[in-house]
């Protein structure tokens, strides 16, 4: 699985280079609209402003900070879980327009039970049927029906910071499915370098869920 942050909200309000600001500047800018203090933007560290507003319960401000990830090599089973988070926006590699390459992932629990050969036979057999259907002229959108959930796919994910916090609450939990938990951890580690909010969340998560962070 590969996870890459490709875009985030940037502040360009005064015409300076977008690289001159942290993403918290965007959150501070919209937050100051409410109090009529936009003129004070830049007077202090925007991260401190964000911390104060969050402490007051104004979490809605985080919806103005948006991030986009490119994720490759996850199973379709996990992609199905991801898109259940309705506040995100997604684009997944289509098997209506592309042909699957036959790659799949086997859960470690199956390997541990000594059943990898059976799993491989099933997955490989399904892909061979898929290829045969395509060769027979069956449309890709119909041939794909035979492929198992363990086949790999790519997906683009866009979420705001508030939704990401909820995503991490749900998907880094001990009872989360192992693959989506691994994805969530990778995303959080990346975001910890982008926004202090996520760096604080990461440190708290490591303290409260030590077993999770020492695992996959």
Place of tokens 């985030």: 8
Q: Which long-range contacts (CB under 8 A, 24 or more apart) does 204-207 make?
A: 205/168, 205/172
Residue of 53, 76, 144, 171 marked active site = 171
Q: Burial of 213 by CB count in 10 Å (0-12 exposed, 13-18 middle, 19+ buried)?
A: middle
Closest by alpha carbon to 8, among 22, 20, 17? 22
Q: Contact at 8 Å (CB) between 69 and 48?
A: no
Q: How far apart are CA 1 and CA 73, in angstroms?
A: 5
Is 105 an annotated catalytic residue? no
Supply the residues annotated as catalytic.
171
């Amino acid at each position: 699985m590969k996870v890459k942050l490709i875009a985030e909200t940037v502040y360009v309000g005064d015409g300076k280079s977008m690289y001159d600001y942290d993403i918290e500047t965007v959150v501070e800018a919209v937050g100051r609209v409410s109090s009529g203090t936009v003129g004070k933007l830049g007077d202090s560290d925007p991260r401190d402003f964000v911390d104060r507003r969050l402490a007051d319960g104004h979490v809605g401000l985080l919806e103005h900070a948006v991030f986009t990830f490119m994720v490759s090599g996850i199973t379709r089973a996990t992609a199905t879980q991801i898109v259940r988070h309705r506040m995100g926006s997604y684009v997944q590699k289509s098997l209506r327009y592309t042909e699957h390459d036959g790659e799949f992932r086997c859960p470690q629990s199956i390997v541990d039970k000594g059943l990898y050969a059976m799993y491989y036979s099933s997955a490989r057999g399904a892909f061979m049927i898929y290829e045969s259907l395509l060769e027979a002229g069956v449309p890709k959108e119909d041939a794909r029906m035979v492929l198992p959930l363990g086949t790999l796919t790519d997906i683009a994910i866009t979420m705001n910071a508030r939704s990401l916090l909820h995503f991490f609450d749900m998907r880094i939990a001990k009872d989360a499915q192992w693959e989506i938990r691994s994805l969530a951890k990778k995303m959080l580690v990346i975001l910890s370098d982008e926004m202090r909010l996520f760096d604080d969340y990461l440190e708290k998560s490591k303290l409260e869920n030590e077993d999770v962070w020492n695992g996959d």
